[in-house]
Chain A
Amino acid sequence: MSQGQDFRQGERREGWAVPLDAVAAFTQGASVSVAPERIEQELLSLWRRASERAQAQGAAFAVTRACQWNLIVHTHGETELLSAKQIIDMVTESVPCRVLFLHETEDLGDGALIGDDGVPLHASVEANFRESPSGRREIVAEEITIETPQLHSRRLPGLLRSLLLPDVPTALLVANPARDAEWLRPICGDADRFVFDSGKLSGFGELGKVAIVLEELYGTSLGSVERMDLGWLRLWPWRLLLSSLYDAPQSRAGLGRLREIVVRYTEGGEVSALLLAGWLMGRLHLVQTGTLASDGTAQLVPGAGSPVKGPVQLRLGLDPGGRGPTGLQEVALLQGESTLSAAVCPDGGGILLSSPFQPSRTQPMRGRPDAELWVAALGVGGRDPLMYEALRLGAALLLGDEIFREQQQPEVRW
């Protein structure tokens, strides 16, 4: 297979001129087509030739490759691929990775090869360079893009495995695992961390589907495969601020009289609302007595170890004019005569915290850029067992808790 075919040139990296050949293209960060069965060899050969050429020109072209993760990123459609590649440019600044884009597309161009299983595949490689402070060139990402109209291909799992660097953990990033779980089955066991994004789901029901798929894929084997949700990481400032309402001893003492939890969400924020409700239920040891009614209410009762003494009504409601950046507009906890709440300010620029036990204050809040969330998900932030607890409790509000009860409840360990 010939090399040097240009791929989406100029759309991603600025200042990139049309290269003369594959080696020049590669060292300038452009994408180079390669034969799917020869990806690794072609990459090695490109590196070797790039070094030889530089040496011949007298340059001290020392290239070191760094890699902390094998990152398999699933994308669907051109826009998703481009946006994922832009995010990767930022992510790999701080977390060097070998990235394998698994791109689902009908539009393969002429370079695609049809395999024994009748599925066409197109592969290309590119490198993402960065200068180290000492002037040495370091590569922080090696990207391999595999495009196919059909991820169910029989040869794909083997191909992917052959491209994973040894001694480096593997993360699988799939925005919506419920969209097409079939192809995930054979490769999910190769991942050490599974990352999805509930922020990309719409409607309550989707969270339920994701929870079921995750349960099917991984069961309760919390120990072996870590699961993380970027949507959960987006909720982190809300959790932090809500918890700050309970730093005052009086507010904690009042938890015994908690009678209602209100979560108001903005258009498309249903999943965030459910996750947050799941988190509150988990932390306060509240147990559902039924599923979420069509008016968004559910009855909860205190379980073992709960600081709450009586039944609690949970109320999820849409605020059509809401402007909260994470899909949430307001969270209020009503305990006795007191209300403790965190609500998006009218100008949308911050969160107003109100409590009878502390002076009210406004806390600035920005949405976190996706790249920052990806980095967090690949770091220690990607190992939060509370996420899975919140997800299951949130999903059980929709589906009933029997669905998860058959399997052993995951143990939350610290």
Chain B
Amino acid sequence: MDRLLGGNPLAEGLVGDRQPEPCAMVIFGASGDLTRRKLVPALYSLARERLLPSGFAIVGMARRALPFAQDMREAVGQFARRRPVDEALWESFGGAISYVSGDFDDPAAYERLRLHLHELDLQRGTRGNRIFYISTPPESFETILRHLGQAQLISKSERPFTRVIIEKPFGRDLASAEQLNRVCLDVLREDQIYRIDHYLGKETVQNILMFRFANSIFEPLWNGKYVDHVQLTVAESIGIEGRGNYYDQAGTLRDMVQNHIFQFMTLMAMEPPVAFEASAVHDEKVKVLRALRELPMSEIDRYTVRGQYAAGFHQGQPVPGYLEEHGVAPQSQTETYVALKLFIDNFRWGGVPFYVRAGKRMARRVSEIAITFKQLPHALFSGPMGKLSHEPNVLTLRIQPDEGITLKFLSKVPGPTIEPRPVTMDFRYGTSFGIEPPEAYERLLLDCMLGDGTLFARGDEVMASWKYCDRVLSGWAERDAHRKVALPSYEPGTWGPEASANMLARDGRVWRRP
């Protein structure tokens, strides 16, 4: 705390309001989609909530010349969480926005940026503190980091602070992630690097920790003694939305599993950290990833399922199949659906399968973690047909939409007979808090300004998850090289290919219908 406040006696108590120190935020890729739809609207919402520091500036940077502040006014009008825009607020917020145009390869652009930031320190009291948000195509990440280092816009010194936020994807396999990490660590300390995964900014994902570690009744059940298996689902109803060139190089494993799913799986499965602070939480998360059982290459088809969506109808509209999408290679083996069976070989989870699935063009958009508890050893109640089988208890943490937590349990149907029926106990954010949760990017941008990296991915976490995914990718590549057969296809609007259902059926289980 003293480092943060620097021993300022008047700042005591104000930190409780989560007020960051003055700083300038530079956005590389300022003319891009993410800046417009998410980043600047999130900063505007922070201004509305009075969470921005007293000295603050936003500097956009991209190639083309832009009326940036004006464009951002429009973007905020269109995408901000609370609309219409508060004009009085915009006057001061808009006054903090400026733009420097230049190519990321051009050293002169960084010199212009340096001078501009220096001026802002004087005009807006940003005190030499900088956050660089790299929101560009991944090919530019390393170039920007190197130039920032060369232009001495970033340094490893503590004060004034410099921090860098890096958008996803952080690498496309283990080797490229390690290479990017090396470049980062050449110019920055680990705690200056904020690898963003916007899923971690979602209230519901953060609530996993609160739910587990602030309540006494769930944690005793949170282990292989009581849990039969866990299902993690990230389903999207949309297809690849014209991003064929990108998606065909990536696929669902890279796009969804390596980052989002593994992130919330670690939060769900980790041991209690010694404190709710970045390094303690990361230490526990990384232990989970390291405990992932190595995939048996010879049995890759028993542990993984790939699929591609076929042409068909989705929500009543005709939609093309993946192979017909623009930018997709006609013989593409890129998966739009993946299901995995994982084991976390540690004391808590030994023997408990974690079934993971993610896909596009699924029946509906939903992200959730469902924990199925073990059956009772003995069925006590019997009906006219003999002993009644008991459905297991299921605890579902719904991440989106309809954020909440549901516990399924059996209850007696009212009446003279003994008939159990599953019922649910529901907690919904909307009905318990009424409050509109902040956008993930609001939380994450604020945390970075506060120097809190808890909700970002640490380097070793990213590497550990790539290590697992790399093995899956090379297993698939080997399989394809050996005997290339088209990936199983699935109808749009379903929950994936049949092979996926079979993977669970072999274990005597079924996928939930989320």
Contacts and interface: CB of A to CB of B under 8 A. Distances in A.
A374 to B, nearest CB: 14
Interface string A303-327: 0000100000000000000000000
Nearest to A68: B433
Interface stretch (B85-93, B245-253, B383-391): B85-93
B424 interface: no
B351 interface: no
Interface string A357-388: 01101011010100000000000110011100
A93 B22 CA distance: 31
Contacts of B436: 94
Contacts of B54: 240-241, 244, 363
Nearest to A236: B17
A388 to B, nearest CB: 12
A66 interface: yes
A246 B402 CA distance: 45
Interface stretch (B3-11, B219-227, B445-453, B458-466): B3-11
Contacts, number: 103
A283 B8 CA distance: 10
Contact of A243 (B11, B124, B430): B11
B434 interface: yes
Interface string B429-457: 01111111000000000000000000000
A95 B8 contact: no
A66 B434 contact: yes
B215 to A, nearest CB: 15
Contacts of B115: none
B505 to A, nearest CB: 33
B169 interface: no
A134 B125 contact: no
Interface string A232-248: 00001101111111110
B12 interface: yes
Contacts of B434: 66, 68, 92-96, 130, 138, 140
A381 to B, nearest CB: 7
Q: Which of B50, B89, B431 has the most A CB atoms < 10 Å from its CB? A: B431
A358 B432 contact: no
Contact of A361 (B89, B123, B430): B123
A366 B88 contact: yes
A249 B88 contact: no
A247 B435 contact: no
A53 interface: no
Contact of B92 (A240, A364, A381, A384): A364
A84 interface: no
Interface string B69-97: 00000000000000000001101100100
Given A240-B19, A364-B91, A366-B88, A307 B432 contact: no
Contacts of B433: 66, 68, 96
Contacts of A358: 125, 127
Given A93-B434, A95-B434, A249 B6 contact: yes
Nearest to A384: B13
B123 A386 contact: no
Contacts of B428: 64
Contacts of A133: 430
Interface string B108-123: 0000000000000111
A252 to B, nearest CB: 6
A191 B16 CA distance: 24
A133 B121 CA distance: 42
B107 interface: no
B320 interface: no
B55 interface: yes
Q: Looking at chain A, what size class is its interface with the partner chain? A: 35 or more
A92 B434 CA distance: 8
A140 B121 CA distance: 44
Nearest to A65: B431
Given A243-B8, A247-B21, A138 B431 contact: yes
B14 interface: yes
Contact of B10 (A140, A246, A353): A246
A255 B8 CA distance: 10
A246 B125 contact: no
Given A93-B434, A94-B435, A252 B7 contact: yes
Contacts of B88: 366
B122 A246 contact: no
A243 B20 CA distance: 12
A239 B12 CA distance: 10
A261 to B, nearest CB: 12
B124 A361 contact: yes
- Among B9, B22, B121, the one with the most A-chain Cβ atoms within 10 Å of its Cβ is B9
A385 B13 CA distance: 9
A242 B10 contact: yes
A364 B55 CA distance: 10
A132 interface: yes
A301 interface: no
A146 B442 CA distance: 41
B2 to A, nearest CB: 12
B296 to A, nearest CB: 43
Given A140-B434, A241-B54, A359 B125 contact: yes
Contacts of A307: 9
A392 B91 CA distance: 38
Nearest to B159: A249
**Which of A64, A244, A249, A361 has the largest count of B CB atoms less than 10 A from its CB?**
A244
Nearest to A412: B13
A284 interface: yes
A384 B17 CA distance: 10
B367 to A, nearest CB: 16
Contacts of B124: 361
Interface string A156-187: 00000000000000000000000000000000
B16 A252 contact: no
B430 A138 contact: yes
B498 to A, nearest CB: 32
B217 to A, nearest CB: 16
Given A244-B54, A366-B88, 10 more contacts: A66-B434, A68-B432, A94-B435, A138-B431, A240-B54, A245-B10, A353-B125, A361-B125, A363-B125, A364-B95
Interface of B: 6-14, 16-17, 19, 21-22, 50, 54-55, 88-89, 91-92, 95, 121-125, 127, 401-402, 428, 430-436
Interface of A: 64-66, 68, 92-96, 130, 132-134, 138, 140, 236-237, 239-247, 249, 252, 255, 280, 283-284, 307, 353, 358-359, 361, 363-364, 366, 368, 380-381, 384-386, 414
29 contacts: A65-B431, A66-B430, A93-B434, A94-B436, A132-B430, A133-B430, A134-B401, A138-B430, A239-B14, A241-B54, A242-B10, A244-B22, A246-B10, A246-B11, A247-B8, A247-B127, A249-B6, A284-B9, A307-B9, A361-B123, A361-B125, A363-B54, A363-B55, A364-B92, A364-B95, A368-B50, A380-B16, A384-B13, A414-B13
Q: Which 4 A-B pairs have the closest CB atoms?
A: A243-B10, A364-B92, A96-B434, A386-B13
